[in-house]
Amino acid sequence: MAAGSKLLESLRANPRVTVRRDGPPDPEGRCVLYWIQRAQRAFDNPALDLAVRVGNELGVPVVAYFGLMPSYPRANLRHFQFLVEGLPDLAAGLRKRNIGFLLRRWPDHSLAKACEQLRPALVVGDENPLREPERWRQKVAREIRLPFWTVDADVVVPSRLLEKQQYAARTIRPRIHAYLREFLAPSQTPTARKRWRAPHGATSLSPEDDLLAGWKSGRSVQPVTGFHGGTRRALRLLHEFVNAKLRHYAERRNHPELDGTSRLSPYLHFGQIGPVAVALAVARAKAPAREKNAFLEQLIVRRELAVNFVRFNPDYDSLEGAPAWALRSLGEHAKDSREVLYTEKQLENAETHDPLWNAAQKQMVVTGWMHNYLRMYWAKKILEWTRSPAAAFEIATRLNDKYELDGRDPNGYEGVAWAVAGKSDRPWFERPVFGTIRYMSYAGTSRKFDAQAYIRQIEKL
């Protein structure tokens, strides 16, 4: 086992890799442990691929470890149900790659305890730019006495290469495009050469078990029926999108009544499908270049702009993260009279005077998903109808995180910051309450698509 091998040095220097705890692999180690959190898939997963390559170089098996706990910030039964629905696909995919799988749930979910039992030579994890998951990774780095690397597995271009917070799509786009040739490439998907044999005492749950049985917390929001988790379902949606919807994407993507989007955002959020696999499928599709480019702009440039925002702005989930011009303008209009004020409970119950807003809120509460074009309108009206910009930001964030399957995600925080606080936008014409934040009206928004048809669809839910 050559701890200083050129391959290990090369893997360590990969721009996707952050070395959280340095040092040579444990020469007595029995495996490489891959700690799964954000990237919950067995293919198109740079973190898992790296773990396998390290394991093969060291001559030890690879074990993927997943610890399920009910206290994930702002998660509820809706999110947990979607997550556990994806675990059978994960387990099956790992078996195909000759990778062991250890699944445990709270209160036996400790990674440190798993390391004591498995005695890995090195630990590999995936990255998550959100505040709490980042703290967990820092805590693990302090606690385990092993090399610990994390891999930026859920973006096309590694986030660290962008160096700092980018102002808007126009500033991040050329930086992203400069790296696409290097990073937009198929996964090699190596297979582990050694099969893992669980040591005595390393008991594991089965993905087919009722993993949520007995949990009393997080039951405030029930699961949905229109979305079910798992890589196979994500691939089915991708196939349907590429073959039936992509050719009309640019024309229909802002028409909520036409359902012209991919609906892949929940699967991307949970890492049940990766952005590179989606981008390559779209790039290879038989569709006009205009349509493909429009989708790839959203999938890569806009999505990674959101990841960049969360990674480099510590106030991503509050008004304090807004650009200076927006904070100044909102402050100047903070005491403006509002024509109507709604409580958070009224908003949550879709009890406003606006039928379009009520329909969007109902779609989110009932289905766990809201069309992206309406998310902008939805958040801007919360700014208009609440007592302050700070309160509007908090309410929009809480509702989004509570009901959306893809809540608690960089895209959600970037979206609220754009709508309420001018993030990635520019000053517009000044008006009451909004100041120079871009305004959206019911009349103007309704002219963009068949709003009445959309409202009728939602009324049937």
Q: Alpha-carbon distance 335 to 24, whole Å? A: 59
Return the pLDDT at 201.
76
Q: Dump pLDDT digits (tens) for 267-292.
A: 999 999 999 999 999 999 999 999 99
pLDDT band at 226 (very low <50, low <70, confident <90, very high): very high
User: Rounded to 10 degrees, what is the CA torsion of 386, 388, 389, 392?
Assistant: -30
Domain definitions of the chain by residue range? 6-154, 319-459
Q: Which amino acid is at 64?
A: A
Q: Dump pLDDT digits (tens) for 93-138.
A: 999 999 999 999 988 889 999 999 999 999 999 999 999 999 999 9
**Which residues contact residue 457 at a Cβ distance below 8 angstroms, ignoring those fewer than 6 apart?**
257
Return the pLDDT at 2.
53
Q: Dump pLDDT digits (tens) for 428-442.
A: 999 999 999 999 999
The percent of residues in the chain predicted with pLDDT above 70, rounded, is: 99
**DSSP letter for each residue of 186-252:** ----PPPSS---PPTT-----TTS-TTTT--SS-SS---SS---SHHHHHHHHHHIIIIIGGGHHHH
Q: Which amino acid is at 166?
A: Q
Whether 6-154 shares its CATH topology with 319-459 is answered no
- Measured from the Cβ of residue 340, the count of other Cβ atoms closer than 10 Å reads 10
Q: Alpha-carbon distance 439 to 176, whole Å? A: 29
Q: How far is CA 195 from the centre of its chain?
A: 31
> What number is the average pLDDT over the span 200-221?
84
Q: What is the CATH number of domain 6-154?
A: 3.40.50.620
Q: Alpha-carbon distance 160 to 428, whole Å? A: 32
At 46 the three-state DSSP class reads helix
For the cut 70, the answer to whether the pLDDT of residue 3 exceeds it is no
pLDDT band at 1 (very low <50, low <70, confident <90, very high): very low
Q: Which of 53-62, 102-111, 359-368 is predicted least confidently?
A: 102-111
Q: Dump pLDDT digits (tens) for 302-315.
A: 999 999 999 999 99
Return the pLDDT at 4.
65
Q: What is the CATH number of domain 319-459?
A: 1.10.579.10
Q: Which amino acid is at 19?
A: V
For the cut 70, the answer to whether the pLDDT of residue 185 exceeds it is yes
Tell me the two tokens of residue 24: 């040579």
Furthest C-alpha separation in the chain:
71
